[in-house]
Amino acid sequence: MAHPKRKHSHARTHKKRTHQKVHSPSLVKCSQCKKPKPKNMVCPFCGYYKNKEIIKIEPKENKKKKRQG
């Protein structure tokens, strides 16, 4: 296996790594609830995708209501 003859400088190493960065996910507004959601995925808030209900999401109950009842 080949081995480098000399050590790469820090600048050269960092130049090589400039493209290895984290990208933020692209978000779009949901057509139903207008909240941001990932592209090409079912909305986690309302359960709609392309104006069709794919999954039924029930609203969460408040903790205070559960404690009283």
End-to-end C-alpha distance for the chain, whole angstroms = 71
Q: Establish if 19 belongs to a structural domain.
A: no
Number of domains in the chain: 1
Domain that holds residue 50: 24-63
Tell me if 37 sits within 8 A of 28, measured CB to CB: yes
Backbone angles phi, psi at 49, to 5 degrees: -145, 125
Classify residue 8: in a domain, yes or no. no
Whole-number CA gyration radius for the chain: 24
Residues 11-59 have pLDDT tens digits of 998 888 888 888 888 999 999 999 999 999 999 999 999 989 999 888 7
pLDDT digits (tens, 9 = 90+) for 46-65: 999 998 999 988 877 766 66
Residue 68 lies in a domain: no
pTM here? 0.53
Q: Is residue 14 part of a domain?
A: no
Residue 45, judged by CB atoms within 10 A of its CB (0-12, 13-18, 19+), counts as: middle
